């Protein structure tokens, strides 16, 4: 199984890349996670946020393969514990399809992305900055793998 994380936003601070890479390098080849960045939509004028969100949505949707399982990170999604994420990841592996996790831009995910998603997952009820979301997500995926494989990381 391959997990792709499509994230709106580019040019993250170096600490984000370091944090993400720390967890991704620990994962085995059969639980591959990769990040792909997408450009922010243009934000100008009175209705810039809505138009930018739609642009970002189109960019994200264009990168999704038809057979991939799509999970939207959405504040209105369901909150999962680390154990629940491990169960979800086990189900994803059994399903046989690759997984795509979507991280929206400053205005969230476009409606079309939310409609394409099979699941909506909320990392937190808190508003988290996008750079931090990437590190938290990488760590939680590593933690899920450690639970699945019986690794002592999750104690």
Question: Residue 13 maps to which CATH number?
Answer: 3.40.1280.10
CA dist., res. 120 & res. 70, Å (int): 9
* Per-residue model confidence (pLDDT) at position 7: 96
Backbone torsions φ then ψ of 109, nearest 5 degrees: -95, 145
Residue 69 clears pLDDT 70, i.e. is over it: yes
Strand, coil or helix: what is 1? coil
Beta-bridge mates of residue 36: 6
Is residue 108 left, alpha or beta, with left meaning phi > 0 and alpha meaning psi from -120 to 50?
left
Q: Say if 99 falls within a structural domain.
A: yes
- Domain range for 44: 3-149
Q: What distance in Å separates the CA atoms of residue 85 and residue 141, rounded to the nearest whole number?
A: 8
> Binding site annotation covers 141?
no
- Residues 25-46 have a mean pLDDT of 89
Reported as a pLDDT band with limits 50, 70 and 90, residue 64 is very high
73 annotated as a binding-site residue = yes
154 located within any domain: no
What are the distances in angstroms from CA 55 to CA 12, 76, 133? 20, 21, 21
Per the annotation, does 126 bind a ligand? Answer: yes
The reply, when asked if residue 85 is annotated as ligand binding, is: no
Query: What pLDDT digit, counting tens, does each position of 13-35 carry?
Result: 999 999 999 999 999 999 999 99
Could you tell me if residue 105 is inside a domain? yes
Report if residue 130 sits inside a domain.
Answer: yes
Structure tokens at 93: 């592996």
Give me 21's structure tokens.
């890479």
Tell me whether residue 97 is in a domain: yes
125 is in an annotated binding site: yes
Q: How far apart are CA 112 and CA 21, in angstroms?
A: 30
Tell me whether residue 155 is in a domain: no
Query: How many domains are contained in the chain?
Result: 1
Kindly state whether residue 111 falls inside one of the protein's structural domains.
yes
Q: Assess if residue 65 is contained within a domain.
A: yes
Nearest to 20 by CA among 143, 139, 115: 139
Is position 27 annotated in a ligand binding site? no
Q: Where are the beta strands (DSSP E) in 18-152?
A: 32-38, 69-79, 99-103, 119-122
| Cβ neighbours around 94 below 10 Å, total | 8
Regarding predicted confidence, which is higher, 117 or 75? 117
Residue 2's SS3 state is strand
- At 47 the pLDDT is 63
- Per-residue confidence band for 99, with pLDDT thresholds at 50, 70 and 90: very high
Please give the model's pTM, rounded to 2 decimal places: 0.93
């Amino acid at each position: 199984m391959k997990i792709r994380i499509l994230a709106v936003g580019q040019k993250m601070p170096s600490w984000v890349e370091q944090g993400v890479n720390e967890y991704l390098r620990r994962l085995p080849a059969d639980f591959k996670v990769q990040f792909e960045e997408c450009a922010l939509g243009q934000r100008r004028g009175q209705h810039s946020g809505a138009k930018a969100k739609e642009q970002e949505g189109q960019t994200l949707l264009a990168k999704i393969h038809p057979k991939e399982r799509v999970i939207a990170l959405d504040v209105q999604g369901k909150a999962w514990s680390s154990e629940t994420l491990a169960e979800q990841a086990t189900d994803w592996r059994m399903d046989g399809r690759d997984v795509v996790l979507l991280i929206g831009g400053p205005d969230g995910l476009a409606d079309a992305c939310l409609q394409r998603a099979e699941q909506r997952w909320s990392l937190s009820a808190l508003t988290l900055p996008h750079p931090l979301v990437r590190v938290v997500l990488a760590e939680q995926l590593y933690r899920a793998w450690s639970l699945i494989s019986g690794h002592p990381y999750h104690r």
